[in-house]
């Protein structure tokens, strides 16, 4: 492995600081070009995330698009005061529906307010709701919000089947998805200023799946973070069964094919759900929470999480990547023998994790791992 570099996280923090400064002086709509101001129409709701100044990014898989919304929710930060139990009932009451299924959750780092995409029942109604610091839920106002809809392109005679994750990074919206093509794993980059229509560059990604011992093009990125190192901009993604790989996307031609570099293998039988980077006690960590779709081997819940020392992302030589990528030792959940790839006990049962600030995250958690279809709770958690 290469020697550890301090640049990646420093660069990330600089990017976040830049976004914060811009957010202080701008509204989210200042990142838009000719936004619409009528009602935000959604055919469906999927993954959500936040950009600068309270910009809410909403995937609409049915229309193969992403909508960026100026929520006007730009601070100051008020953190969730106490755990909220049975979040589904709290949100359903606010939405005026019989029941609902939470699709995704994202905390607004500018305000601390927690946002949810959900489908209401009956009828699978697409819903956007939020939760205040005092645990009060409400619908996100969509009747006159400034917004833009960005349609994701596909090759001729191909179809984008799913949007698996999205994030703001490098002054752009980054999106991961799965297409019907042979190279099904897609990465999209939509630069600011964001505008209505088809404005995305897209790339087809190939990944070495360590647990399968082969290169694959079908499996999509399940979760990712934008990451910068030595002036190169990457998407660092996690896949089912569970390699973590990095993909350079800066300076590529539209439609280019990318071979990722797998740097860590967390083990087969897992499906990643969220990713984040934080710093604690002088150490920098990449966290991914996952869903175990085989027998539960690692703790009290099928939902568990791992943290990986950020220096693993520096790996680029054949001796430390792809076939030789570092593997998690299932017999060493933590401590020196884990070699910087550890389980995070604080995230057992975490169905969704969203970062508020550095080591503080908002978690939607199982309340009874032994039962299916039980209500979930939402709480603020500090990572170790």
Q: Which pLDDT score, from 0 to 100, does residue 296 have?
A: 67
Name the pLDDT band for 361 (thresholds 50, 70, 90). very high
Domain boundaries along the sequence of the chain: 7-27+148-382
Q: Which pLDDT score, from 0 to 100, does residue 20 have?
A: 43
Q: Which pLDDT score, from 0 to 100, does residue 3 have?
A: 35
Name the pLDDT band for 230 (thresholds 50, 70, 90). confident
From the CA atom positions of the chain, what is the Rg in Å? Answer: 20
**DSSP letter string over 240-276?**
TT-EEEEEE-TTPPTT-EEE-EEEEE--SSEEEEEEE
Task: Give the residue with greater pLDDT, 184 vs 67.
Answer: 67
Q: Which pLDDT score, from 0 to 100, does residue 295 have?
A: 74
Supply the DSSP symbol for 127.
E
Distance CA 184, CA 346 (A): 34
User: By C-alpha distance, which of 87, 93, 98 is closest to 125?
Assistant: 98
Query: What is the rounded average pLDDT of the residues 50-63?
Result: 97
Peptide bond into 166 cis (omega under 30): no
pLDDT tens per residue, range 315-339: 999 999 999 999 999 899 999 999 9
**DSSP letter string over 184-210?**
-EEEEEEESSEESBS--EEEEEEEEET
CA 12 to chain centre: 16
Provide the 3-class DSSP secondary structure of residue 57: strand
Q: Which pLDDT score, from 0 to 100, does residue 18 have?
A: 43
Is 90 exceeded by the pLDDT of residue 2?
Answer: no
Distance CA 64, CA 248 (A): 24
| CA dihedral angle for residue 13, residue 16, residue 21, residue 22, rounded to 10 degrees | 150
Distance CA 292, CA 282 (A): 30
Pairing mode of beta strands 147-151, 137-139: unpaired
**DSSP letter string over 129-189?**
EEE-TTS-EEEPP-SS--EEEEEPP--TT--EEEEEEEEE-SSEEEEEEEESSSS-EEEEE
Query: What is the rounded average pLDDT of the residues 69-90?
Result: 97
pLDDT tens per residue, range 269-279: 999 999 999 99
Supply the DSSP symbol for 4.
P
Burial of 378 (0-12, 13-18, 19+ CB in 10 A): buried
Distances (CA, A) of 331 to 7, 293, 311: 32, 19, 22
- Residues 6+ positions from 196 with CB-CB distance below 8 Å: 34, 35, 36, 148, 149, 150
Name the pLDDT band for 23 (thresholds 50, 70, 90). very low
Return mean pLDDT, the chain.
91
221 token code pair: 């990125």
Peptide bond into 193 cis (omega under 30): yes
What is the number of H-type helices and E-type strands within the chain? 2, 28
Distance CA 44, CA 219 (A): 23
Is 50 exceeded by the pLDDT of residue 7?
Answer: no
Supply the DSSP symbol for 321.
S
Task: Give the residue with greater pLDDT, 20 vs 283.
Answer: 283
Name the pLDDT band for 298 (thresholds 50, 70, 90). low
23 token code pair: 């957010």
Name the pLDDT band for 8 (thresholds 50, 70, 90). very low
Pairing mode of beta strands 194-195, 32-33: parallel
pLDDT tens per residue, range 183-213: 889 999 999 999 999 999 999 999 999 888 9
* Percent of the chain surpassing pLDDT 70: 93
Is 80 exceeded by the pLDDT of residue 75?
Answer: yes
383 token code pair: 């990572």
Supply the DSSP symbol for 26.
S
Distance CA 242, CA 160 (A): 23
Q: Which pLDDT score, from 0 to 100, does residue 300 have?
A: 77
* Percent of the chain surpassing pLDDT 90: 81
């Amino acid at each position: 492995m290469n020697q550890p570099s301090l640049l990646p996280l420093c660069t990330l923090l600089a990017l976040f600081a830049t976004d914060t400064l811009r957010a202080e002086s701008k509204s989210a709509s200042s990142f838009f070009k000719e936004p619409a101001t009528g009602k935000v129409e959604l055919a469906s709701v999927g993954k959500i995330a936040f950009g600068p100044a309270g910009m809410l990014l909403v995937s609409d898989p049915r229309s193969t698009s992403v909508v960026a919304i100026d929520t006007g929710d730009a601070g100051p930060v008020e953190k969730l005061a106490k755990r909220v139990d049975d979040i589904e009932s709290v949100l359903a009451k606010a939405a005026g529906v019989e029941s609902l299924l939470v699709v995704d959750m994202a905390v607004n780092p500018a305000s601390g307010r927690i946002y949810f995409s959900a489908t209401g029942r009956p009828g699978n109604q697409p819903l956007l709701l939020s939760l205040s610091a005092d645990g009060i839920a409400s619908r996100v106002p969509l009747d006159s919000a400034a917004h833009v809809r960005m349609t994701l392109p596909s090759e001729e005679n191909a179809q984008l089947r799913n949007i698996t994750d999205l994030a703001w990074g490098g002054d752009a919206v980054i999106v991961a998805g799965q297409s019907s093509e042979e190279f099904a794993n897609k990465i999209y980059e939509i630069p600011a200023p964001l505008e209505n229509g088809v404005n995305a560059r897209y790339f087809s990604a190939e990944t070495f799946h360590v647990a399968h011992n082969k290169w694959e093009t079908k499996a999509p990125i399940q979760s990712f973070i934008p990451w910068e190192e030595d002036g190169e901009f990457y998407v660092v993604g996690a896949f089912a069964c569970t390699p973590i790989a990095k993909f350079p996307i800066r300076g590529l031609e539209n439609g280019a094919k990318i071979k990722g570099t797998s740097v860590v293998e967390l083990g087969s039988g897992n499906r990643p759900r969220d990713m984040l980077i934080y710093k604690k006690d002088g150490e920098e960590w990449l966290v991914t929470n996952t869903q175990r779709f085989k027998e539960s081997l690692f703790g009290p819940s099928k939902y568990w999480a791992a943290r990986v020392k950020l220096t693993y992302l520096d790996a680029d030589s054949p001796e430390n990547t792809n076939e030789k990528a570092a593997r998690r030792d299932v017999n060493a959940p933590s401590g020196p023998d884990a070699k910087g790839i550890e389980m995070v006990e604080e995230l057992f049962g975490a169905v969704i994790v969203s970062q508020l600030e550095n080591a503080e995250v908002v978690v939607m958690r199982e309340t009874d791992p032994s039962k299916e279809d039980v209500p979930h709770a939402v709480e603020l958690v500090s990572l170790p």
